[in-house]
Amino acid sequence: MSTTSVDTLVIGAGPTGLGAAKRLNQLNQGTWALIDSSEEAGGLASTDVTQEGFLFDVGGHVIFSHYTYFDDVIHEALPKDSDWYEHQRVSYVRSKNVWVPYPYQNNISVLPVEDQVKAIEGMIDAAEVRIRAKDAPKDFDEWILRQMGEGIANLFMRPYNFKVWAVPTTHMQCKWLGERVAAPSLKVVVSNTINKKVAGGWGPNATFKFPAEGGTGGIWKAVAKTLPKEKLIFKKRVEKVDAAGHSVKLNDGSSIKYKNLITTMGADYLIDNLDGADPADVKQLKEAKEDLVYSSTHVIGIGIRGELPPRIGDKCWLYFPEDDCPFYRATIFSNYSPNNCPQADAKLPTLQYADVSKGKPTDNSPKSGPYWSLMMEVSESHLKPVDAQKILAETVQGCVNTQLMQPTDEIVSLYHRKFTPGYPTPSLKRDAALAKILPVLSDKYNIFSRGRFGSWKYEVGNQDHSFMLGVEAVDRALYGSPELTLDSPDYVNGRRNTERRLTKA
């Protein structure tokens, strides 16, 4: 079979791989190619379309950015104002049958009085613990207790994070937190509770953009179109990486040789399919990868006939810590763009009522809309099993239980897809494992494992982070430049990163 050669080979056409390709194309230093097993670009930021015409992202994605370079690239790909909808985040936590504005820990004023008391007493205790503490928290659970106390821990943080990560908070480290979790001010919380006020606007995604057409996947298809078509190779899968021979073997039997490899495959998959490395390195890599933990994610979409209910209004995404539903997050996906649903004149039959106990629809002939949609996420692990045969029905019932849907709402489309892996867990041993994996691959074999599961760092796993992991990997491979996003997440998350621009190298 054929063998070709490039200076830099990129594996994966998700945000990280496209970031690498975009930078390689801009720098024009040597030959390069990008390869992906799918038919088109997008990776874990792609969008599926149901047969009825409802769009669902493969997870909850929105666009916000810490990087000017990322903004330049996105603007080049989708430059018109009409390409985007801009939103103010409207987000809540469903707790004790009320909608608590996000972040929960800053807005306990809307909770029942007895829960307000638990939360404030816990925060007072936590303040005393922080004063006495001499060491950093040993895990995420201890961080929660020190920052928020037992009340908020039990009301929200512990149950919600178990639903997200599918492992207890005692199994997770806390170095990843950064801007991901708001540490509440006792003074502000007490003041807001007494004055019955709420606080909002926290976090980097308080405002965000969403593409008018094609869902999140449409962004990355547009970015891919700005690259030379002949350098993008789709529908070919990497089966083996020869570390010593600097080549990859593809599923069609062909090979590609490289000087530098930037791969977005899961680090665990890469190690399992690595040939030619020194036996001592292989032993170290295989032992370390056993400490990389992940969860699976079930993405469930529901298309509904009718006007968007006032109870839903302009809500964006919603959090669910309690056990009256299997999902931890729901997105009102039709609120992001009206084009995420079929047009109102599309005629669709009713598949079922939201509450199946209402019986089957007597008339399931195709009828027109309008339509709206919900997208839910459910995590799974060996500590949190999910019955794949029942999860769709349980999710629909959970939407009724939490008043996202009314019992007689007409469902016209159902979507379910499982992703394994879904989330890279910030486990207690993760950083030690990565310290044994990533430097060996890059320093000894010119293999730069990057991206959501390539470098396994959730704290730099948003679309902008993922894209820049690819960009910075190219600069590291070609020039030896530091990779700030990979090595200093708190630094890049705490500032506006303007060092690179698309218009010049």
- What are the structural domain ranges in the chain? 3-46+67-79+213-293+426-493, 92-194, 294-424
pLDDT, position 493 = 87
Cβ atoms 251, 96 nearer than 8 A: no
Query: Which of the two residues, 376 and 90, has the higher pLDDT score?
Result: 376
Confidence of residue 193 (pLDDT cuts 50, 70, 90): confident
- pLDDT above 90: residue 14: yes
Radius of gyration, CA atoms only, the chain: 24
- Give the pLDDT confidence of 295-336 residue by residue, as tens digits: 999 999 999 999 999 999 999 999 999 999 999 999 999 999
For the chain, the straight-line distance linking the first and the last C-alpha, in angstroms and rounded, comes to 37
Cα–Cα distance for residue pair 319/169, rounded to 1 Å = 17
**Tokens 């070919």 belong to residue:** 236
DSSP state of 458: G
Structure tokens at 405: 């849907």
Mean pLDDT of 497-504: 84
Cα–Cα distance for residue pair 165/426, rounded to 1 Å = 9
Confidence of residue 200 (pLDDT cuts 50, 70, 90): low
pLDDT, position 505 = 45
Mean pLDDT of 50-75: 92
Q: Which CATH class is domain 3-46+67-79+213-293+426-493?
A: alpha beta
Structure tokens at 249: 């073997």
- Give the pLDDT confidence of 271-292 residue by residue, as tens digits: 999 999 999 999 999 999 999 9
Q: What percent of the chain has pLDDT over 70?
A: 97
Confidence of residue 423 (pLDDT cuts 50, 70, 90): very high
Confidence of residue 224 (pLDDT cuts 50, 70, 90): very high
- Give the pLDDT confidence of 369-389 residue by residue, as tens digits: 999 999 999 999 999 999 999
Q: pTM to 2 decimals?
A: 0.94
Confidence of residue 362 (pLDDT cuts 50, 70, 90): confident
Cis omega (within 30 of 0) for bond into 361: no
pLDDT, position 179 = 52
Cβ atoms 448, 260 nearer than 8 A: yes
User: To the nearest whole number, what is the mean pLDDT of the chain?
Assistant: 93
Query: Which residues, 6 or more positions from 496, have their beta carbon under 8 angstroms from its beta carbon?
Result: 66, 68
- Give the pLDDT confidence of 470-481 residue by residue, as tens digits: 999 999 999 999
Least confident range of 8-17, 90-99, 200-209, 354-363: 200-209
- pLDDT above 80: residue 73: yes
Mean pLDDT of 262-268: 97
Identity of the amino acid at 217: G
Q: What are the angstrom distances between the C-alpha of 52 and each of 123, 202, 290, 293, 343?
A: 49, 37, 42, 36, 11
Q: What are the angstrom distances between the C-alpha of 202 and each of 319, 419, 504?
A: 15, 29, 34
pLDDT, position 319 = 96
Handedness of CA 317, 19, 435, 274 (dihedral sign): positive
- Give the pLDDT confidence of 120-171 residue by residue, as tens digits: 999 999 988 988 888 989 999 999 999 999 999 999 999 999 999 999 999 9
